Amino acid sequence: MTVTSADSLREEVRRKYAEAALAATRGGSAECCDSSCCADFGRELYSAQEEAEVPEAAALASLGCGNPTAVAELRAGETVLDLGSGGGIDVILSAKRVSPTGTAYGLDMTDEMLALARANAAEAGVGNVHFLKGLMEQIPLPAASVDVVISNCVINLSTDKAAVLTETARVLKPGGRLGISDIVAEDRVSPEERAERGSYVGCIAGALSKSEYEAGLEAAGFEAIDVRFTHEVAEGIHGAIVRAVKPY
């Protein structure tokens, strides 16, 4: 992939999710106008109790494919980072799980989503949150500063997934863990077939296969790697739980 095409895809992602943030801010569903975002892949995986813990706008802006706060099994006192934090639902839930001694960071590249997330966190009354603007390929946090990295249907949107996984390993403390939800293809589905099943912005065309994900995590230095399908979102394409640990 050329730099130009990578930049173009990133800008398309930024624009679509900015539109989604503005829709949620207005009180409507965050689905993209042409149904090309990740909306509705995993909203139902949040319990009614969890949705009651966050402002309505945060729930409306949920564009993920799973529930990473449940996947990561967060504990009090931990520092957690959410890659591609969007409207803030997973950061707010994480802050409640690790509070009062823990910290929840949200990282997003979209100004509109960051503004929405900050407003949602203020409405939720959580003070142990910090929202950062930046790219998940260049995480603006020090090395070995985070206990847990979560993400919800976002890594598939990166044009440099190897960099995301390497950066994730860098910011994790030794023994830190990765617990994310993402869209993952069966190994039999080629990149060309993934593109036929859905757009890049729609979280399909950019999805890694199960073996590609496992190899990428191993190359980044992770161990105890587990990529597990949860529900099918297109033929041969699944929502998945991805877990791994940074060795001591």
Domain boundaries, the chain: 3-245
Q: Which of 61-75, 147-161, 181-195 has the lowest mean pLDDT?
A: 61-75
Nearest to 107 by CA among 78, 140, 84: 84
**The pLDDT value given to residue 229:** 96
**The pLDDT value given to residue 55:** 65
Among 2-6, 33-37, 64-68, the range of highest mean pLDDT:
64-68
Q: What are the phi and psi torsion angles at 240 (to 5°)?
A: -145, 155
**The pLDDT value given to residue 16:** 80
Beta carbons within 10 angstroms of residue 215's beta carbon? 14
pLDDT digit string, tens, across residues 21-43? 777 777 655 444 334 455 555 45
Percent of the chain clearing pLDDT 90 (strictly above):
64
Residue 246 tokens, joined: 């940074």
**The pLDDT value given to residue 201:** 80
β 129-133/79-83 pair status: unpaired
Report the C-alpha gap between 189 and 130 in whole angstroms: 38
**The pLDDT value given to residue 22:** 76
**The pLDDT value given to residue 3:** 46
Tell me which of 201 and 36 has the higher pLDDT.
Answer: 201
Q: What spatial distance separates the first Cα and last Cα of the chain, rounded to whole Å?
A: 34
How much is the average pLDDT of 154-169?
Answer: 95
Mean pLDDT of the chain: 86
Q: Determine whether domain 3-245 maps to CATH 3.40.50.150.
A: yes
pLDDT digit string, tens, across residues 176-200? 999 999 999 999 999 999 999 888 8
Q: Where are the beta strands (DSSP E) in the chain?
A: 79-83, 103-108, 129-133, 146-152, 172-185, 208-209, 223-234, 237-245
pLDDT beyond 60 at 236: yes
pLDDT digit string, tens, across residues 101-127? 999 999 999 999 999 999 999 999 999
pLDDT beyond 50 at 227: yes
